[in-house]
Amino acid sequence: MAGETPATGRFTVALSGGSTPKRLYQILTEKPHRDTVTWSKVQFFWGDERAVPPEHADANYLSLKDALLPRVSIPKENVHRIPAERPDRDAAARDYQAEIARVFGVDPNGEPPVFDLVFLGMGPDGHTASLFPGNPALRETKRWVVPVANAPKPPPDRLTLTRPILNKAHEVLFLVTGADKAERVLEVLSGPPDPTRLPSQLIRPTTGQLVWYVDRAAAGRLTAGIDGAEGKL
C-alpha cells in the first residue's frame, strides 16, 4: 500500500467524525480508489467519539461502518472503535490509550506513537476532533486520550485524542467544507495565535506535514498564502 509504514507493513490512520467525511468514505469504496489500497494492512482508529452506542446516528464510528466497512475487505481486528458509550469515560480513555499502545507496540505511559495519517475536520467555532474552545482538554500535555464533558454541541460527553498524539503524526489532513466555516478558516490559518478560542490552531505536527483541503465556500475569505500548511482547493 502506498504510504504504509515500511517497518511494519501497515498504515495507521485516525479518522474524523462529523458529516464532512461521509462522501470521502464512499469514494474510497469506488473504482479506481478501492483497488489502490491494501485494506488488510490499514489500522483504523478515531480522533474522537461521542458518548453514544456504536449504532447510534450520532456515532462517528457509524459513518465508516455504513459507508466503507461492508464494501472492502478489512479484518475486524483492524478496526479500533472508541468505547465512548461506557459510563466511566475516564477509564474508557485509559483503555483506548492502552489499545493504541498495544497496536503500535509502545509503552502506554510513554511518548505517543506516530500515526501515518490523522484525518480531521473543523467546526464553525474552530474546534477539531472534540477539542472545543475553552475546554480543559486543550491544556493536556501527557495523555493521548481524554474525556470531554459539556461540549457546546450535543451530545455533550465525548472522548478525544489530544494535541500530543495528533501532532506526532506523519501527516495531518484537514478537510473543511461550507461557507459557514469561511471566517474560521481565515482566522485559523491567517490570524494571530489564539488556540484557546480556535483549537484547530493547536494542530501543528512536530515533524510531519500539515495539509488543508478546503472547498471554495470554506476558502471564501482567504486572499493570501497559508503559513505552515499546504492548502488545496
Average model confidence (pLDDT) across the chain:
92
Query: For the domain that residue 194 is a member of, what is the CATH number?
Result: 3.40.50.1360
212 is written with which cell numbers? 488543508
Which DSSP string do the residues of the chain spell out, in sequence order? Answer: -TT-BTTTTBEEEEE--SSTTHHHHHHHTSTTGGGGS-GGGEEEEESEEESS-TTSTT-HHHHHHHHTGGGS---GGGB----TTSS-HHHHHHHHHHHHHHHHTS-TTSS----SEEEE---TTS-BTTB-TT-GGGG-SS-SEEEE-S-SSSS--EEEE-HHHHTTSSEEEEEE--GGGHHHHHHHHHS---TTT-GGGG---SSSEEEEEE-TTTTTT--S--TTSEEE-
pLDDT of residue 2: 41
Note whether residue 165 is domain-resident. Answer: yes
**Within a domain: 81:** yes
Task: Specify the number of domains making up the chain.
Answer: 1
Residue 21: predicted pLDDT: 85
- Please indicate, yes or no, if residue 42 is contained in any of the structural domains: yes
Compute CA distances 100 → 132, 161, 221, whole Å.
23, 11, 38
pLDDT, tens digit, for every residue of 47-98? Answer: 999 999 999 999 999 989 998 999 999 999 999 999 999 999 999 999 999 9
pTM over 0.75? The answer is yes
pLDDT bracket for residue 7 (50, 70, 90): very low
19 is a domain residue: yes
The answer to whether position 5 is within a domain reads: no
Is the per-residue pLDDT at 228 higher than 80? no
Q: Is 6 within a domain?
A: no
The predicted-structure confidence for 191-227, as pLDDT tens digits, reads as follows 999 999 999 999 999 999 999 999 999 999 997 545 5
The pLDDT, as a whole number, for residue 224 is: 53
Per residue, the 3-state secondary structure of 87-127, as one string, reads CCHHHHHHHHHHHHHHHHCCCCCCCCCCCCEEEECCCCCCC
Q: Which domain holds residue 224?
A: 11-232
Cα torsion 139, 158, 129, 9: sign: positive
CA distances from 155 to 41, 47, 148, 180 (A): 33, 16, 11, 21
Residue pLDDT, tens place only, 99-141: 999 999 999 999 999 999 999 999 999 999 999 999 999 999 9
63 within a domain of the structure (yes/no): yes
Q: What's the pLDDT score for residue 233?
A: 46
Residue 107 is predicted with a pLDDT of 98
Per the domain annotation, does 3 fall within a domain? no
Confidence grade of residue 8 (pLDDT, cut at 50, 70, 90): low
